Every structure is written in structure tokens, then in C-alpha cells.
């Protein structure tokens, strides 16, 4: 009897992931490709060989576009996942999706998994873009030397290896990005509790959830910093001057924020799936 009630959720999550990934990648891949191409154009325009020939306005324009592309690429990725959520869970595709043998939680996790892969693709595209820009201005041999020197100086100043620091920052960025996505999903779901004035309900929900998270964020930071005998302002100032103790505290604080982000994601997933399952008012 128990075996009939418990089923493996991963095949259905995989199907949701496959469908959402295929639907959004038609926009995402060209966008990330454009980042790399712009990095190449920007790098060439700033290279020594063309530095005198390139128009200053052209260099400034290309550089600004290149910088804005990083922000725009991430923002568009958020918009794509939000549009896919609304279309698939709250609008015309909702009736079809809800008729499938897929639970609400599997729908949500599949979409979060899709965004996670897109985020890692974004990080990889950003990294490749920076490499492309630098290689337009320095030789391979010099690049390897500069990179080795950077890694050595990073370890000497901070007391940690960059190979340990970078994955932690990526994990924090991923947890924060997933929280933003889940925050948007939760706000959209809450707005559909109302039959009228959904924009007003969504605005109120967005403000309340944001205030709640900011307060929790402040309490977490202050409790961690105060436990080490300081305050946040002094902590930030001292971290800039690079004290070993503050670097360790920064690592501890980052892990706490990652844990807090994922805890908030779980709470939002539970609340959103409950709304979609029991209280949804589809038009």
C-alpha cells in the first residue's frame, strides 16, 4: 500500500526541466553568445594595435554596452523564467499543466532547476567574456603569468585560495538568484488569491515579503558580527583593509546567508505550491 503512494519525483522534474529549458534557451543562448561577441569587439577596440585608430566615442560606447550586457543578460534571464512561470502556472498553459501527472512541487522544482542551469551558463559566459577581453590586449604567455601572479597575491593578502573563494561566491550568487526567482513566483501566486485588484495585491505582497527578508537579513548579519565583538560598519571598513579575522568572519557570514537564502527558498516553495494547489483562482 505504501509503495503505491510513494513515487519517484525525479522523472517528472526532469520532464518539466527539459520542456522549460528548451522553451527559454532559444532566447538565453543567443543572449549569452552576444555577451562573448561584445567582449571580443570591446577587447579589440581597446587593444594596443587599434587604440590610436579607434574613436574614443566608439570605445566608450562599446565598453558601456559590454558592461550593460552583463546586467541585461541576468535581468532577461529572470524575465524569461518569470514569464514562463506565469504562462505555465497561472495563464493559458495552466489548465494543460495541471491535468498532467505532475505535482505542484515538481513543477516548481523543475523551473528552479532550469534557472539554476541558466545561472551557471551565465557565470560561464561572463567568465569567457572577461577572458576574451583580456586576451585581446595581452599575449597568452603574459596572460598565464598575470593569472599566476593574481592567484599568488590573492592568497598572500586574504589567506585563502581563489579556488576556494570563487565557488563560494558562485554558490551565494546562485542561492540569491534562486531566492529572487522564488520571490517573484510567490508574489505572482499570492496575487492570484484575489479575483480582483491583483496588481494591488501583488504590490502589497512584494513589499511585505521584501521587508520581512531585509529584517531577517539584518538580524543575521548583526548577530554574526556582534558575536565577534564588532558592528557591521566597522566590519565592512576593516574588511576593505584586509584583516585575516574579518576574512574568516566574511566566509562564515557568507555561509550563513547561503543557508538563510535556501531556507527562504524552501518556505516560498511550500507556500507557493500550497496556493497553486488549493487556492488558485485562474481566469
Q: How many of the other CB atoms lie within 10 Å of CB of 268?
A: 23
Nearest-angstrom CA–CA distance, 214 and 216: 5
Q: Which three cell numbers stand for residue 212?
A: 520581512
Percentage, residues of the chain above pLDDT 90: 27
pLDDT at 245: 58
Q: Which residue has the higher pLDDT, 208 or 43?
A: 208
Q: Which residue has the higher pLDDT, 228 or 150?
A: 150
Task: Map grid coordinates 511585505 to a residue.
Answer: 208
pLDDT at 83: 87
What does the DSSP assignment read for 183-251?
A: HHHHHHHHHTT-SS-HHHHHHHHHHHHHHHHHHHHHHHHHHHHHTTT--HHHHHHHHHT--HHHHHHHH
Q: Which three cell numbers stand for residue 209?
A: 515579503
Q: Is residue 90 scored above 50 in pLDDT?
A: yes
Nearest-angstrom CA–CA distance, 64 and 164: 31
The tens digit of pLDDT for each residue in 24-60 reads: 888 898 989 988 888 887 777 766 555 555 556 666 7
Among 14-28, 151-165, 203-217, which stretch is predicted with the lowest mean pLDDT?
151-165
pLDDT at 224: 67
The tens digit of pLDDT for each residue in 115-150 reads: 999 999 999 999 998 888 777 767 666 777 888 888
pLDDT at 165: 85
pLDDT at 241: 44
pLDDT at 16: 92
**Mean pLDDT highest for which of 73-77, 113-117, 273-277?**
113-117
Q: Which residue has the higher pLDDT, 135 or 10?
A: 10
Distance of alpha carbon 139 from its chain centroid, rounded?
33
Q: Enter the DSSP assignment of 160.
A: S
Which pLDDT band, with edges at 50, 70 and 90, does 100 fall under?
A: confident
Contacts 24+ apart (CB under 8 A), 217-225: 217/257, 217/260, 220/256, 220/257, 220/260, 221/253, 224/249, 224/252, 224/253, 224/256, 225/249, 225/253
Task: Map grid coordinates 505532475 to a residue.
Answer: 102
Amino acid at each position: 500500500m505504501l509503495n503505491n503512494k510513494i513515487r519517484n519525483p525525479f522523472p517528472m522534474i526532469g520532464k518539466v526541466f527539459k520542456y522549460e529549458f528548451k522553451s527559454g534557451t532559444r532566447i538565453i543562448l543567443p543572449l549569452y553568445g552576444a555577451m562573448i561577441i561584445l567582449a571580443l569587439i570591446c577587447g579589440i577596440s581597446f587593444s594596443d594595435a587599434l587604440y590610436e585608430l579607434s574613436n574614443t566615442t566608439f570605445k566608450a560606447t562599446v565598453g558601456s554596452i559590454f558592461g550593460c550586457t552583463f546586467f541585461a543578460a541576468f535581468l532577461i534571464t529572470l524575465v524569461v523564467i518569470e514569464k514562463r512561470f506565469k504562462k505555465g502556472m497561472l495563464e493559458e498553459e495552466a489548465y494543460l499543466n495541471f491535468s498532467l501527472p505532475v505535482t505542484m512541487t515538481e513543477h516548481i522544482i523543475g523551473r528552479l532547476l532550469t534557472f539554476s542551469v541558466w545561472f551557471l551558463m551565465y557565470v560561464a559566459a561572463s567568465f569567457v567574456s572577461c577572458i576574451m577581453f583580456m586576451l585581446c590586449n595581452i599575449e597568452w604567455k603574459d596572460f598565464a603569468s598575470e593569472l599566476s601572479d593574481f592567484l599568488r597575491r590573492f592568497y598572500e593578502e586574504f589567506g585563502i585560495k581563489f579556488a576556494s573563494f570563487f565557488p563560494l561566491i558562485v554558490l551565494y550568487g546562485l542561492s540569491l538568484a534562486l531566492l529572487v526567482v522564488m520571490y517573484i513566483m510567490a508574489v505572482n501566486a499570492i496575487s492570484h488569491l484575489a479575483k480582483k485588484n491583483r496588481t494591488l495585491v501583488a504590490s502589497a505582497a512584494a513589499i511585505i515579503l521584501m521587508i520581512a527578508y531585509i529584517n531577517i537579513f539584518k538580524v543575521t548579519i548583526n548577530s554574526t558580527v556582534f558575536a565577534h565583538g564588532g558592528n557591521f560598519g566597522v566590519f565592512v571598513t576593516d574588511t576593505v583593509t584586509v584583516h585575516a579575522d574579518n576574512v574568516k568572519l566574511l566566509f562564515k557570514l557568507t555561509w550563513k546567508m547561503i543557508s538563510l537564502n535556501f531556507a527562504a527558498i524552501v518556505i516560498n516553495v511550500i507556500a507557493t505550491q500550497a496556493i497553486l494547489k488549493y487556492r488558485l483562482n485562474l481566469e
